[in-house]
Amino acid sequence: MNDKKLDPYIPEQEVTKTITENVEDLRFDISKFEYDEENDEFICPEKQSLKFLYEGYEKERKRKYRLYKGTECKKCKFSKNCTKRKDGIRHLKIAEFSKERKQLAEKMKTEEAKEIYRQRQQVVEPAIGNYKENLGFREFLTRGIKSVRNEFNLVCTAVNLKKIWIYSNKNEIIRKRNGINGTFHFKKKIVDRIKFNRAKKFQFHNR
């Protein structure tokens, strides 16, 4: 997102389990492990390091990950609380863009981010809710980013045309109530605009 110069506001999801292991003792949840960027290693709550082991790829989720392995787990008295592995050595599978996710989580804690995110309820969510609930648009029929973008643009165009139609009808009703002819009113606005532009040109040439 940084490369595309996007400024996202996405709330962090509450996670009580690690990516790799079902840990009941939350003292050893993945969120309690601190990353040392300089040495590319994680530090556990007992101040022991987990070294980088290898980089892999998850076919189901279609994403890369980095695996880190504990160095002093067998000597630790909390080994059974930290991992359920038979060898007693804790592993961390860190998904791609974990650094960016952490930065985003820190940003979302600020008051400015919270205020911007609250605007979703007024701007974004009503529009998406209208597409899904009122128009029944819940899935795309095409595939590929270009095709999906074109399909979504058609939906947005249809919605905007409906808004224009509603707005025009309301204005027409108001004009009829006030005894104003819609066509005459429209022509008069054009004539007034032409006169205004001519007057501006005349003032400009006589300076």
* CA–CA gap between residue 101 and residue 190 (Å, rounded): 53
Burial class (CB in 10 A: 0-12, 13-18, 19+), 18: buried
Of residues 65 and 124, the one with the higher pLDDT is 65
127-167 pLDDT, tens digit per residue, is: 888 898 888 899 999 999 999 999 999 999 999 998 888 88
Q: Which two tokens stand for residue 21?
A: 């292991």
Taking alpha carbons only, the member of 148, 147, 128, 146 closest to residue 138 is 128
Mean pLDDT of 160-188: 72
Mean pLDDT of 28-57: 92
75-109 pLDDT, tens digit per residue, is: 999 988 899 888 999 999 988 877 788 888 889 98
Specify the pLDDT at position 205: 45
Mean pLDDT of 110-132: 87
Specify the pLDDT at position 14: 52
For the CA atoms of 142, 148, 122, 107, what is the dihedral angle to 10 degrees?
A: 120
Mean pLDDT of 165-190: 67
Of residues 172 and 40, the one with the higher pLDDT is 40
122 phi/psi in degrees, rounded to 5: -95, -30
CA dist 181 → 167, 172, 176, 185, 190 (Å): 17, 9, 7, 6, 14
Q: Which two tokens stand for residue 30?
A: 């993945």
Mean pLDDT of 168-175: 76
* CA–CA gap between residue 151 and residue 170 (Å, rounded): 29
